[in-house]
Structure 1
Amino acid sequence: MKIRQLEAFRAVMLYQTVTLASEMLHISQPATTRLLADLESSLRLKLFDRVKGRLIPTVEAQTLYEEVQRSLAGVDRIARVADEIRDMRHGTLQVAAAPAIALSFLPHAISDYLKTRPEAHIALAVHSSRSVVDRVIGQRCDVGFAILSMNHASAHGERLISVRMVCALPAGHRLCALDTITPTDLAGERFVAHPRSVESRLRMDALFAAHGVEMKAQMECQLGHAICAFIEAGAGVSVIDAISAWGYRGSGVVFKPFEPSLVTDFALLTPSQRPAPLLLKPFVAHVREFAIAELGPAVLVA
């Protein structure tokens, strides 16, 4: 018993004639008749009475038809799923990402991506950049997004985007009247800074020192989103990456361009031995395009 025989049987039951069934199957009438005969032989059942050149379904054929319908519906579904996988509308992605990009930006980018792929499934896990790298090395995700400089692309890592850092000010602060903020403008201001273990903090310290400005880092926090919450609460000012700034939805923080330009690199990492899902390439392309569309001039390299 072969699937093609069952398809011929279903077609004849649906269209009542061998002629129409053959047209639906895109085969000749003799081929359809032969498939039906082979099916009867393999099942050892008489499925049709031949009356004046017509096929009349037997009671056994009517009973068998219901089961054939259910079985072939499963086969049809497998074919549809295969088409969706091939067209990159179906599948699963395991994503690991640093908080700066995972807490707000990626959920919006993923939601936008899934609008046209209702059968796809994406799992997002939030980890520190160092843990993201560990998960990628350990083959425990399909793709990782981390704050990591990638000056040279490799087979398993490249720059996703580079974004400017911006100055975050409490709404109503005196510096909100300026178009661009410089280190000199922030002299004497209380500063909410990243810890010194974070690369951007080291670059910030060096920049302020080069301008002869002492940074009054009264508070430290690793997460850009939490730094914005500090600022909204009136704790001071800060300089954070544009993605964290984009993701902050509070109304009490104003973001201004900061000069000289400081850049944060977000890296795209893939495991070396884990097979890449077909969804991965279009997903990464969508994330880049979403960043360019949403962040505009804040994106330097994509």
Structure 2
Amino acid sequence: MKIRQLEAFRAVMLCQTVTRAAEMLHISQPAATRLIADLEESVGFALFERVRGRLYPTAEAQVLYEEVQRSLVGVERIALAARDIRELQRGSLQIAAAPALALSFLPRAIAEFLTQHGQTQISMLTHSSRTVVDMVVGQRCDVGLAILSMNHPSTHGERLISTRMVCALPVGHRLCSEAVIRPHDLAGEKFVSHPRALDSRLQIDALFASYGIERQLQVETQVSWSICAFVEAGLGVALIDPITALEYRGNGICFRVFEPQLTTDFSVLFSTQRPPSLLLKSFIAHTRAFAIAQLEPHLVVA
């Protein structure tokens, strides 16, 4: 028993003639007749009585038709689901992301993504970059987005975007009138900074040490958004990633280009146990393009 035979049977039941059933299925009349004959042979009883050129379903055919209709509806539903999956209109994504991305940037990127992929279900959890890596390794999410250097693509991840840090200053600060801030400009300033455990902190410390400048650390916090809030409150200056600067909604802070260049790399992490889906690949491409479109070109390194 084949699906095509069942489709021919349903078509004849609906159209009441083999000719119209064949037209409905876009096949020849002999082909439709052969499908019905093969189905009758398979089930072991007659499905139609032929009277004056018309087909009348038998009582057994009426009973069978109810089951065939339910089965074919299920097959059609599967075909529709497969089409939606192929066209990236159906699926789910479980995302784990660092706060710098998850607090505001990703919600906006996801909202735009869903305008083209409306039936996709998305779950996003916010964790530190280290926890995001652990979640990916433990297969507790489909994709991880973290602040992490990854210069070469691999089977378990790739760089999303590389950006250059900016200097955050409270409005009214003496340096707000400058277009570019350099290390010697910040000598003697109080700093709001990431903790020592983060790579960005080590990178900044090393740069200022190379210039012979000792930073006066006023406040430490691991979340870039909080760093901006501390700066706006007048507790110091800071160097942060440009995505946080882009998304920060406070009015009491100004952002300036910082030289020499310090980079913040955002990376995408996959499970090593299963390849990324077509939907996930599309989401990553969209997120990268969204970031590049949102940031000023001089803030995008690669």
- Same fold by TM-score greater than 0.5: yes
Of 16-25 and 223-232, the range deviating more from structure 2 = 16-25
CA contact (8 A) 1:93 1:277 kept: no
Q: CA deviation at 1:108?
A: 1.8
Q: Which residue of 2 aligns with 1:113?
A: 113
The 10-residue stretch of structure 1 (157-166 or 38-47) with the greater mean CA deviation from structure 2: 38-47
**CA apart distance, 1:167:** 1.2
Residue aligning to 1:53: 53
1:190-269 matches, within 5 Å, as 190-269=190-269
* 1:86-97 → structure 2 map (5 Å cutoff): 86-97=86-97
For the Cα contact (< 8 Å) 2:162–2:265, is it kept in 1?
yes
SS in 1 for 2:92: strand
Shift of 1:212: 4.0
Q: Which residue of 1 aligns with 2:73?
A: 73
Q: How does 1:141-180 map to 2 (within 5 A)?
A: 141-180=141-180
For 2:151, what is the secondary structure of its paired residue?
coil
1:262 Cα deviation after fit: 0.8
CA distance in 2, matches of 1:278, 1:139: 18
Q: How big is the alpha-carbon RMSD for the aligned residues of Structure 1 and Structure 2? A: 2.5
Q: Structure 1: which 5+ runs fail to align?
A: none
2:275 aligned with 1:275: yes
Q: Distance in 1 between matches of 2:172 and 2:61?
A: 81
1:150 match: secondary structure: coil
SS in 1 for 2:254: strand
Indicate the SS of the match to 2:162: strand
**Residues 139, 274 of structure 1: 8 Å contact kept:** no
Residues 126-167 of structure 1: CA deviation (Å, up to 9, x unaligned): 222222222223333332222222233333232221101011
Tell me the distance in 1 between the aligned counterparts of 2:192 and 2:20: 76
On the 8 A contact 1:169/1:238 being kept in 2, the answer is yes
Length-normalised TM-score, structure 1: 0.88
Call closer, same or farther: CA 1:260–1:63 in 2, change over 3 Å. Answer: same
Deviation at 1:44, TM superposition (A): 6.0
Could you tell me how far 1:224 is from its partner in structure 2?
0.4
Output one character per residue of 1:230-258: Cα deviation in whole Å (capped at 9) or x when no partner: 22233222110011212222233222211
**TM-score, length-scaled by structure 2:** 0.88
Distance 1:299 1:53 in 2: 78
Matched-pair identity in %: 65
CA distance in 2, matches of 1:167, 1:299: 12
Look up the SS of the partner of 1:244 in the other structure: helix
Letter of the 1:55 counterpart = L
Alpha-carbon distance in structure 1 between the residues aligned to 2:181 and 2:299: 18
Change (3 A) 1:69 1:252: farther
Unaligned runs of 5+ in 2: none
2:181 aligned residue: 181
